[in-house]
Amino acid sequence: MKLSKLGEFGLIKKLQRNIPAVSAGVLTGIGDDAAVLKAPDRKILVTSDMLIEGIHFDLAFTTFYQLGYKFLAVNISDIFAMGGDPKHFLVSIGIPDKYDSEDMIELYSGINEIAGKFGITIVGGDTCASKQGLILNGTLIGNAAERTILRSGAKEGDSIFVTGTLGDSAMGMCLLMKIKKQIRRCESGNASIKLLGKTLVCRDVLALANKHLMPQPAPIKNTQKVTSMIDISDGLLADLGHICDESRAGAIIYKEKVPLSLELLSVAKSLGRDPYEYALKGGEDYVLLFTAPLNFRTRAYRIGEIIKKGRYIIDGNGKKTPFKAEGYEHFK
Amino acid sequence: MKLSKLGEFGLIKKLQRNIPAVSAGVLTGIGDDAAVLKAPDRKILVTSDMLIEGIHFDLAFTTFYQLGYKFLAVNISDIFAMGGDPKHFLVSIGIPDKYDSEDMIELYSGINEIAGKFGITIVGGDTCASKQGLILNGTLIGNAAERTILRSGAKEGDSIFVTGTLGDSAMGMCLLMKIKKQIRRCESGNASIKLLGKTLVCRDVLALANKHLMPQPAPIKNTQKVTSMIDISDGLLADLGHICDESRAGAIIYKEKVPLSLELLSVAKSLGRDPYEYALKGGEDYVLLFTAPLNFRTRAYRIGEIIKKGRYIIDGNGKKTPFKAEGYEHFK
């Protein structure tokens, strides 16, 4: 239905029907001037993220469902990066004329899907018209663990870990931007497609695109000995740079220890690209990057160590190259 | 400085210098994945507001300082409308190319001005590029009073109160939109200006414009017997409508009891307009509208009463007219 027919309050009512009822910890949800939340015993965590059409997403490449899913996923990732437990979400949306209420319901179904997985309740926000593109701002509130894990606690001698493969999302985005139409052919059952004369396996292409469109944040379970943590949104080198900056320390990365997916390896090989370019600088992985003492037992991948100062990558031949914090930065 | 030169992280550092240091209740402020806040004993309040250039504001009529001030003011108003105490603010900004870092520092100085008045700390947010206009999203977190005041508690026989004069902001906005250039002449010392052949007193014009550009939210002190409350953002009739909807009750407004400022009366008279049109439907007053028992002692203006059902305005001659919830609604 056209929003001009439904109006702001009509849309809000329609969307509210698609939002699960108020849950534990929410004393008053959507519909008043502010939400009323039961405070946990000690500390709360709050994070906010803005997504703007044409800057952060392109609706030619993503469905509203996927967009809603990712919108909340990136906020969840920030709460996990503090060692916390996400609880309450506020959604502000600026909606341009060209989208209708069905689009917004689809967006909310993506939000609700991942909210349900992690027991998160939507408790409020703002809904307004936009003359420009679609604008989303999410604020996620979480309960903090007894020990909050900041970016600033890394110590010389700590090992550096990541919780998942890197570079998939960046490669997925490149594929989506270059061959969206051909990816549609993958979705309709083709086994392979062509790009620049090279053959790509559809299963790989779809897996990488999906990593970009619907990141799957996951917390680490045992944070007792973790000294610092961040989620990888700007890219491994850039986000490790944030940890080094805040911890006033240096870092070495063992390039060959950086985990790569088989899909990234396969597609990069077909295209004649270096997969590490994507893994080190790509961004939007939404896996956790953390530091802990050498003897820390974890299922995460150990990719390097914290040193006194300097930032280096060591390759398989033992060659040491300094690195700068390269990654995405707005305005530049 | 151009943002393209400064970059996202450079801008954030510059703005951080303009944000007062971390204060009581903030365990970790700006600079990590999420802010860490000390939770109050019982309940927290959260509200979010999105402001989009060309929809909510026009930088031809407002300075960045005024915009920053109003941006936080409207969020404070929502926390006051729940009987709460505003504490922590998260600011997301999407910044188009045409604005530079000085503009953003001016915006933050407006935010800081009103934050300082009410003891609010900026604890985080997001900063990104926008291809369209300037986009602001604020999330304000507050401590709830022991008794939170919702929209839903109004009871038949309760009196209806407002905490300030109405319609000033709406008239101020009309003047700004119609005669911005002439208002500049007021600002440079003229005693009067002309609009449509009528003479307007500059002092009145400036006072009304200021009510629109820099609303001054104020809490009510004694909320013990208050049964329902809302802040007037959509307009008296629309917001009273929200209270009636949520409380499943009706209302009578005594038109002549609705408080009007001398400035509104004077300008409306000069222009041959009905000041009550602005006071009843104008919106953006950011004064509180609340209900309480008849014997409630308050310095607020008593403008009507809650009845079983129906919504009426009674004028000075005792003439009773039904009203609908008229006010601003997005998309319509």
Dihedral of the alpha carbons of A84, A86, A87, A92, in degrees to the nearest 10? 130
Taking residues A143-166, report their average pLDDT: 93
Give start-end residues of each CATH 3.90.650.10 domain in chain B.
Answer: 159-322
HSE value, Cβ hemisphere, 13 Å, CA-based, for A174: 16
Q: Note whether B258 contacts A: Cβ–Cβ < 8 A.
A: no
pLDDT category at B147 given cuts 50, 70, 90 is confident
Q: Report chain A residues whose CB lies below 8 A from the CB of B50.
A: 92-94, 126, 128, 135, 137
Sign of the torsion angle spanned by Cα atoms A7, A8, A13, A16 = positive
Q: Note whether B36 contacts A: Cβ–Cβ < 8 A.
A: yes
CA-based max dimension of chain A: 66
User: How far is the C-alpha of B266 from the C-alpha of B200, rounded, in Å?
Assistant: 8
Tell me the three state secondary structure of residue B142: strand
At residue A30, the pLDDT reads: 66
Say which of A46, A90, A246 has its CB closest to residue B37.
Answer: A46
pLDDT category at A272 given cuts 50, 70, 90 is very high
At residue B124, the pLDDT reads: 84
**Nearest residue of A to residue B92, measured between CA atoms:** A50
pLDDT category at B19 given cuts 50, 70, 90 is low
pLDDT category at A29 given cuts 50, 70, 90 is low
B48·A139 Cβ contact <8 A: yes
Taking residues A248-255, report their average pLDDT: 97
Amino acid type, A144: A
User: How far is the C-alpha of A129 from the C-alpha of A134, rounded, in Å?
Assistant: 9
Q: What is A265-322 written as a DSSP string?
A: HHHHHHHT--HHHHHHH------EEEEE-TT---SSEEEEEEESS-EEEE-TT--EEE
Q: What would the pLDDT profile of B91-140 be if each residue is shown by its tens digit?
A: 999 999 899 989 999 999 999 999 999 988 888 888 899 988 999 999 99
Superfamily the domain A3-143 falls into: PurM-like, N-terminal domain (3.30.1330.10)
User: How far is the C-alpha of A51 from the C-alpha of A30, rounded, in Å?
Assistant: 22
How do beta strands B85-96 and B135-143 pair? Answer: antiparallel
pLDDT category at A146 given cuts 50, 70, 90 is confident
At residue A121, the pLDDT reads: 87
Q: What would the pLDDT profile of A302-320 be if each residue is shown by its tens digit?
A: 999 999 999 999 999 999 9
pLDDT category at B220 given cuts 50, 70, 90 is very high
Q: Residue A258 pLDDT > 80, yes or no? A: yes
Classify residue B52 as exposed, middle or buried by CB count within 10 Å of its CB (0-12, 13-18, 19+). buried
pLDDT category at A42 given cuts 50, 70, 90 is confident
Taking residues B43-66, report their average pLDDT: 92
User: How far is the C-alpha of A232 from the C-alpha of A248, rounded, in Å?
Assistant: 19
User: How far is the C-alpha of B292 from the C-alpha of B157, rounded, in Å?
Assistant: 9
Q: How many C-beta atoms surround the C-beta of residue B55 within 10 A?
A: 17
At residue A155, the pLDDT reads: 96
> Which of A40-49, A261-270, B37-46, B229-238 is predicted with the least confidence, judged by mean pLDDT?
B37-46
Give the bridge partners for A136, in sequence order.
A51, A93
At residue A124, the pLDDT reads: 84
Q: Report chain B residues whose CB lies below 8 A from the CB of A331.
A: 3-4, 6-8, 11, 95, 129
Q: What would the pLDDT profile of B182-200 be if each residue is shown by its tens digit?
A: 888 888 888 999 888 899 9
At residue A332, the pLDDT reads: 58
Q: Note whether A217 contacts B: Cβ–Cβ < 8 A.
A: no
- Which pair of tokens denotes residue B277? 């049109």
Q: Residue A331 pLDDT > 70, yes or no? A: no
Q: Residue B22 pLDDT > 60, yes or no? A: no
The CATH number of the structural domain formed by B159-322 is 3.90.650.10
pLDDT category at B42 given cuts 50, 70, 90 is confident
Q: How far is B98 from chain A (nearest CA, A)?
A: 11
Q: What would the pLDDT profile of B268-321 be if each residue is shown by its tens digit?
A: 999 999 999 999 999 999 999 999 998 888 889 999 999 999 999 999 999 999
Tell me if B74 sits within 8 A of B68, measured CB to CB: no
Say which of A9, A132, A151 has its CB closest to residue B329.
Answer: A9
Q: What would the pLDDT profile of B252-264 be if each residue is shown by its tens digit?
A: 999 999 999 999 9
A28·B148 Cβ contact <8 A: yes
Taking residues A176-187, report their average pLDDT: 86
B125·A88 Cβ contact <8 A: no
**A window 89-128, beta carbon within 8 A of B:** 90-95, 123-128
User: How far is the C-alpha of B231 from the C-alpha of B284, rounded, in Å?
Assistant: 9
Q: Note whether B1 contacts A: Cβ–Cβ < 8 A.
A: no
Q: How far is A83 from chain B (nearest CA, A)?
A: 10
CA distances (Å), A164 to each of A150, A258, A260, in order?
20, 9, 9
Give start-end residues of each CATH 3.30.1330.10 domain in chain B.
Answer: 6-143
CA-based max dimension of chain B: 66
Question: Does an H or E element contain A72, and which?
Answer: helix A64-80
For residue B257, the 8-state DSSP code is G
At residue B39, the pLDDT reads: 73
At residue A38, the pLDDT reads: 72
Q: Report chain A residues whose CB lies below 8 A from the CB of B124.
A: 46-48
**A window 270-309, beta carbon within 8 A of B:** none
Taking residues B209-217, report their average pLDDT: 96
At residue A151, the pLDDT reads: 92
A150·B28 Cβ contact <8 A: yes
Say which of A84, A125, A128 has its CB closest to residue B55.
Answer: A128
Left (φ > 0), alpha (ψ -120 to 50) or beta: where does B254 sit?
beta
Q: Report chain A residues whose CB lies below 8 A from the CB of B27.
A: 43, 148
At residue B23, the pLDDT reads: 63
User: How far is the C-alpha of A222 from the C-alpha of A157, rounded, in Å?
Assistant: 20
Instruction: Determine the residue among A2, A14, A22, A33 to mutate to test chain B binding: the one whose Cβ has the most chain B Cβ atoms within 10 Å.
Output: A33
Taking residues B160-167, report their average pLDDT: 97
Q: Residue B26 pLDDT > 70, yes or no? A: no
Q: Report chain A residues whose CB lies below 8 A from the CB of B84.
A: 34
Query: Taking CB atoms and an 8 Å cut-off, how many pairs form between chains A and B?
Result: 240
At residue A215, the pLDDT reads: 97
Say which of B9, B92, B331 has its CB closest to residue A329.
Answer: B9
Which one has a higher pLDDT value, A114 or A24?
A: A114
HSE value, Cβ hemisphere, 13 Å, CA-based, for A308: 0
Q: Which residues are CB-contacts of A306 (< 8 A; sequence separation ≥ 6)? A: A154, A155, A156, A157, A158, A159, A160, A247, A249, A250, A251, A291
User: How far is the C-alpha of A116 from the C-alpha of A120, rounded, in Å?
Assistant: 6
Which one has a higher pLDDT value, A23 or A320?
A: A320
B33·A9 Cβ contact <8 A: no
Instruction: Determine the residue among B8, B139, B237 to mutate to test chain A binding: the one whose Cβ has the most chain A Cβ atoms within 10 Å.
Output: B139
B94·A34 Cβ contact <8 A: no
At residue A16, the pLDDT reads: 67
Give start-end residues of each CATH 3.30.1330.10 domain in chain A.
Answer: 3-143
For residue B323, the 8-state DSSP code is -
Give the bridge partners for A49, in sequence order.
A138
Q: How far is A176 from chain B (nearest CA, A)?
A: 21
Q: Residue A22 pLDDT > 60, yes or no? A: no
Q: Which fold has domain B6-143?
A: 60s Ribosomal Protein L30; Chain: A; (3.30.1330)
What percent of chain A shows pLDDT beyond 90? 64
A126·B137 Cβ contact <8 A: yes
Tell me if A244 sits within 8 A of A154, measured CB to CB: yes
Task: Give φ, ψ of B142 to 5 degrees.
Answer: -135, 165
A35·B43 Cβ contact <8 A: no
Q: How far is A36 from chain B (nearest CA, A)?
A: 5
A128·B52 Cβ contact <8 A: yes
Instruction: Determine the residue among B3, B28, B32 to mutate to test chain A binding: the one whose Cβ has the most chain A Cβ atoms within 10 Å.
Output: B32
What percent of chain B shows pLDDT beyond 90? 64
At residue A5, the pLDDT reads: 76
E strands present in chain B: 26-28, 35-38, 43-52, 85-96, 121-130, 135-143, 159-162, 192-195, 198-201, 228-231, 250-254, 288-292, 301-307, 311-314, 320-322
Tell me if B160 sits within 8 A of B289, measured CB to CB: yes
Q: Report chain A residues whose CB lies below 8 A from the CB of B45.
A: 34-37
Q: What would the pLDDT profile of A192-224 be if each residue is shown by its tens digit?
A: 998 888 999 999 999 999 999 999 999 998 888
B93·A50 Cβ contact <8 A: yes
Q: What is B260-281 written as a DSSP string?
A: --HHHHHHHHHHT--HHHHHHH
